[in-house]
């Protein structure tokens, strides 16, 4: 079911709301200078026919070098759900994955910067975990290629869950009989199933189930009254503003890295973005394009959580990525369309905290240092 979701959802390969994050565009030639951004006036977009819109909603082709999706078992998903909510995977036994990526709050904590070990804050906003399986990579700088590669990073991060090393993590897990039993059930072919790799594998299996569906999915599926008249106007504007490479794919984003402040420098930008992961100067100031699914619920926005309101985000990105000043009606229509991307969360019983196994006498104690 989850795999079909990614195959059947819209591509948006030419439909990015670059009004929300950077789009790569061919720079103008030296022979054809353009007016300064504040003087530039773009023509009003022409409405698109249903046939033209349908053309943009084709599934993305599969990457030839992409590994086949894993076949997650029920045992792995159940284990991953427990580990996702497990605070004993943190140094002081008070932080879990769900702390920063709350499943009942659309996969975020709605804070600019999340609180980690001893209330420490990192430098980047916690992105939503919902629909993350459709992303080209994980983290704002894309330093993790897969959900598995991302899953254990926060556990060992000194600012987040702050476990000192893998040895401490595995000592905690193996000291709890229920976990050793569940690891054996989830990975029956492994002689030593309790490993960091299998911990990551289980958490990723659970996260692949965290998918939302919206009225826009119904619209793309042919239910043309699923969107209101205003939302359809916003969709038309979304499709015709000229940013056709950013927010694409099943997650309406997450499929590329783009420079923040492509046309006009973004004020106060200090974060080097993807450069931190690649050390390639061309990647300085680039970030993974965020998904727009549930965007109305996942603010504040940008890598640093510095923008609180969605209409302001739309205006800022139109200015810095497109050199365009949107009218109030245009912003209203775009925001209305973006709100149609808010989906239904998975069943409440699936995303509620499970009953976690009790600690044993030999379980490593919390370390508040």
160 carries an active-site annotation: yes
| Same-domain check for residues 86 and 192 | yes
Residue 9, both tokens: 């959802």
| Same-domain check for residues 240 and 162 | no
Q: Is 317 annotated as a binding residue?
A: yes
- The pLDDT of residue 220: 81
Q: Is 23 annotated as a binding residue?
A: no
In a domain, 365, yes or no: no
Strands 213-214 vs 257-259: parallel, antiparallel or unpaired? unpaired
Cα→Cα distances 196→153, 171, 185, 190, 192, Å: 10, 11, 16, 13, 11
| Same-domain check for residues 99 and 192 | yes
In a domain, 154, yes or no: yes
SS3 content of the chain, % helix, strand, coil (to 5): 35, 5, 60
| Same-domain check for residues 198 and 236 | no
In a domain, 367, yes or no: no
Distance from C-alpha of 119 to C-alpha of 115, rounded to nearest angstrom: 5
- The pLDDT of residue 69: 66
In a 13 Å sphere around the CA of 175, the CA atoms on its Cβ side amount to 16
| Same-domain check for residues 48 and 129 | no
| Same-domain check for residues 284 and 315 | yes
pLDDT in tens, 80-101: 999 999 999 999 999 999 999 9
- The pLDDT of residue 230: 94
- The pLDDT of residue 68: 61
In a domain, 178, yes or no: yes
In a domain, 79, yes or no: yes
Within 8 A by CB and 6+ apart from 73, the residues are 186, 205
| Same-domain check for residues 203 and 222 | no
Q: Is 246 annotated as a binding residue?
A: yes
Distance from C-alpha of 204 to C-alpha of 264, rounded to nearest angstrom: 38
- The pLDDT of residue 70: 77
| pLDDT one digit per residue (tens) for the chain, 369 residues | 444 444 334 433 333 333 333 333 333 333 333 333 343 444 555 565 555 554 454 443 344 444 566 789 999 999 999 999 999 999 999 999 999 999 999 999 999 999 999 999 999 999 999 999 989 999 999 999 999 999 999 999 999 999 999 999 999 999 999 999 999 999 999 999 999 999 999 999 999 999 999 998 888 888 889 999 999 888 888 877 754 558 777 788 888 999 999 899 999 999 999 999 999 999 999 999 999 999 999 999 999 999 999 999 999 988 998 888 899 999 999 999 999 999 999 999 999 999 999 988 788 888 877
The total of other beta-carbon atoms located within 10 Å of residue 178's CB is 13
What's the CATH code of the domain at 245?
Answer: 1.10.760.10
Active-site residue, from 86, 148, 160, 330: 160
In a domain, 300, yes or no: yes
Distance from C-alpha of 70 to C-alpha of 205, rounded to nearest angstrom: 8
- The pLDDT of residue 252: 82
- The pLDDT of residue 216: 86
Q: Is 100 annotated as a binding residue?
A: yes
In a domain, 366, yes or no: no
| Same-domain check for residues 268 and 323 | yes
Residues 237 and 43: beta-carbon distance below 8 Å: no
Last-in-domain residue among 172, 192, 208: 208
| Same-domain check for residues 224 and 201 | no
| Same-domain check for residues 149 and 172 | yes
| Same-domain check for residues 186 and 82 | yes
In a domain, 351, yes or no: no
Within 8 A by CB and 6+ apart from 155, the residues are 89, 90, 161, 163, 169
- The pLDDT of residue 66: 47
Residues 124 and 80: beta-carbon distance below 8 Å: no
Q: How many domains does the chain have?
A: 2
The total of other beta-carbon atoms located within 10 Å of residue 146's CB is 15
- The pLDDT of residue 242: 56
Q: Is 224 annotated as a binding residue?
A: no
- The pLDDT of residue 278: 97
| Same-domain check for residues 151 and 89 | yes
Q: Which domain holds residue 137?
A: 74-208
């Amino acid at each position: 079911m989850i795999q079909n979701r990614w195959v059947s959802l819209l591509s948006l390969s030419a439909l990015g709301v670059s009004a929300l994050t950077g789009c790569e565009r061919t720079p103008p030639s030296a022979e054809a200078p353009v007016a300064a951004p504040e003087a530039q006036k773009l023509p009003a977009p022409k409405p698109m026919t249903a046939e033209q819109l349908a053309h943009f909603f084709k599934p993305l082709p599969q990457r030839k070098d992409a590994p086949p999706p894993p076949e997650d078992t029920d045992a792995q998903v159940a284990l991953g759900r427990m580990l996702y909510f497990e605070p004993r995977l943190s140094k002081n036994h008070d932080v879990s994955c769900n702390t920063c990526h709350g499943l009942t709050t659309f996969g975020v904590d709605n804070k600019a910067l999340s609180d980690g070990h001893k209330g420490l804050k990192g430098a980047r906003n916690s992105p939503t975990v919902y629909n993350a399986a459709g992303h080209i990579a994980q983290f704002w700088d894309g330093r993790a290629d897969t959900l598995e590669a991302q899953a254990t990073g926060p556990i060992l991060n000194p600012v987040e869950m702050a476990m000192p090393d893998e040895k401490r993590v595995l000592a905690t897990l193996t000291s709890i009989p229920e976990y050793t039993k569940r690891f054996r059930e989830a990975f029956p072919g492994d002689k030593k199933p309790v490993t960091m790799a299998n911990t990551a594998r289980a958490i990723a299996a659970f996260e692949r189930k965290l998918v939302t569906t919206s009225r826009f999915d119904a619209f793309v599926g042919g239910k043309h009254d699923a969107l209101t008249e205003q939302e359809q106007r916003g969709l038309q504007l979304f499709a015709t503003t000229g940013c056709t490479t950013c927010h694409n794919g099943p997650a309406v984003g997450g499929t590329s890295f783009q420079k923040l402040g492509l046309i006009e420098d973004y004020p106060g930008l200090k974060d080097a973005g993807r450069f931190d992961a690649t050390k390639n100067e061309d990647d300085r100031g680039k970030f993974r394009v965020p998904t727009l699914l549930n965007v109305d619920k996942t603010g504040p926005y940008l890598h640093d959580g510095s923008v609180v309101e969605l209409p302001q985000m739309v205006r800022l990105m139109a200015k810095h990525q497109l050199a365009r000043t949107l009218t109030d009606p245009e912003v209203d229509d775009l925001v209305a369309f973006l709100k149609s991307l808010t989906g239904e969360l998975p069943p409440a019983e699936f995303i509620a905290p499970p009953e976690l196994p009790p600690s044993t006498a030999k379980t490593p104690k919390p370390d508040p240092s």
